[in-house]
Structure 1
Amino acid sequence: MSIYATWDGSLQCTRPWLDARGLGERVWVPAGTTLSEAQAVHGHFHLIRAGYISATMARANGAPLLLEILGPGTLFGAGPAFERSPRFATTFAITDCTLDCFDAATVESAFGTRPELAVALIRLMNVTQRSLARKLMRFTSSTPEERLLELLARVSRVEQLQNPQRDRPQVHLTHDQLAAMSGLSRVTVTRTLKKLATQGLVQTQPGHVEVLRPDLLERRVEGL
């Protein structure tokens, strides 16, 4: 499993939420919408049905640090919503998104008759903790190429699920975003992508990376 498996793993855990009826409100938000600011306190959380959301924190110098790109099937913001505690990250719609918006108080009152939702949240917390542990381990031992391979494989996997008719998945992340997510510099990402391009794995395009051989990319990641 990829070290960036937070949303890969959450697809299984959030199935009861994807199937839930009558609890949340379906909303559409355009690209560029800020869903929640860091330190904000409110009682709602979201499930992504389509699109991508970025989660960022501010560095000491005020520059944003990209923590994660959240994809379809991800449930986010539930912890602070139930605790009524400040959000630790700012969430922002990278693309147009379809979301389910849940009110924590309403959901909590429904746990008695729908315990599968509470169980799914517990499982999701476990997946998130294991994913964070893997990230820490890999960041201290993996090469830049390994980090980037895993990230590209993970995003292209979701792209294939959303666009099965496309033979060559497109990773719509900039070099800066890839660098922030993989803990690398932009220069290292660009250099590594050029190397992967010479191997016939990817082709860089304006605004995205096209995966030419998703099957070979998956085999490379499985061998890490």
Structure 2
Amino acid sequence: MHESAMHETVWFERFPALRAIDDAAGQRILRAAQIVRVPAQTTVFESGAVCRNYLLIIDGTVRVQQLAVSGREIVLYRVGPGESCVLTTTCLLAHSRYVAEGISETDVVAAAIPAAAFQDAMETSEGLRRFIFAAYGERLAALLRLLEEIAFERLDARLAKRLLALGSDSPHIAITHQALAVELGSAREVIGRMLKHFAEQGWVTTHRGEIEILNRGALCKLAAEE
């Protein structure tokens, strides 16, 4: 899965802040990065596993999700091009294991910095250390916004918001009730009842494995409600 070190101009386009790292230690560590290619629908990391690399996503998307004791799943966040994984950073900083799993939703290309090199960066490279903490802060803020939504927003408003996001390019959304439930951390039956209500209002229509948005304005109004 690993290839030879990627030339800096290829992945610095996704992470322009890395160009500002001019200390010798930081440049040496960046040169140790390897290209990692992961096919779609592959487990990138799993709960309980040791973190072996700091990944910088160049292309593709990784979905990070957690399984509760009750058996219910929830999507915590996605990591896309130009981003790093907040959970991976946490594991490397705390020398802890993963508490969630990461699945590649598409083919993924990433730059992988080995865990030992990451620890070296934290100790010897001020430039890389600033980059790592800046990226960590951005991703952590996004995760906190998700927790705020779960704690304080109504589920029907969150469902409307998610449908609008998924249907931003087309009113036809290829997704199952179960997949939507995982996205929102709810039960399939609950999501099914809400979609039935949406359909009765004329906002959406549902088919097997697909939802079609009929009234985007009504969903926008609901999504804006607290």
TM-score range, shorter chain: 0.5 to 0.7
Supply the AA of the counterpart residue of 2:91: P
CA distance in 1, matches of 2:73, 2:147: 16
Q: Identify if the C-alpha distance between structure 1 residues 150 and 39 changes in structure 2 by more than 3 Å, giving closer, same or farther.
A: same
Per-residue deviation, 1:178: 1.6
Greater CA radius of gyration, 1 or 2?
Answer: 2
Supply the AA of the counterpart residue of 1:57: L
Any unmatched runs of 5+ in structure 2?
1-12, 20-26
Aligned to 2:50: 41
CA distance in 2, matches of 1:155, 1:192: 17
Per-residue deviation, 1:189: 1.2
Q: Identify if the C-alpha distance between structure 1 residues 145 and 42 changes in structure 2 by more than 3 Å, giving closer, same or farther.
A: closer
Structure 2 SS opposite 1:122: helix
Q: Identify if the C-alpha distance between structure 1 residues 198 and 101 changes in structure 2 by more than 3 Å, giving closer, same or farther.
A: farther
Per-residue deviation, 1:33: 0.9
Q: 1:75 aligns with which of 60, 74, 84?
A: 84
Q: Is the 8 A contact 2:35 2:111 kept in 1?
A: yes
- Provide, for residues 13-63 of structure 1, a one-character-per-residue CA deviation record: whole Å limited to 9, x for no partner: xxx974347845443322331111211112324344423524232526xx4
- Provide, for residues 153-196 of structure 1, a one-character-per-residue CA deviation record: whole Å limited to 9, x for no partner: 3444xxx4xxxxx4x15544421122233343312212222332
Q: Is the 8 A contact 1:43 1:82 kept in 2?
A: no
Q: Is the 8 A contact 1:47 1:101 kept in 2?
A: yes
Structure 2 SS opposite 1:113: helix
Per-residue deviation, 1:213: 5.0
Q: 1:145 aligns with which of 122, 142, 156?
A: 156
Any unmatched runs of 5+ in structure 1?
1-15, 161-165
The percentage of aligned residue pairs carrying the same residue is 23
Aligned residues: 195
Q: Is the 8 A contact 2:62 2:80 kept in 1?
A: yes
Aligned to 1:66: 74
Note if 1:113 corresponds to 2:121: no
TM-score, scaled relative to structure 2? 0.66
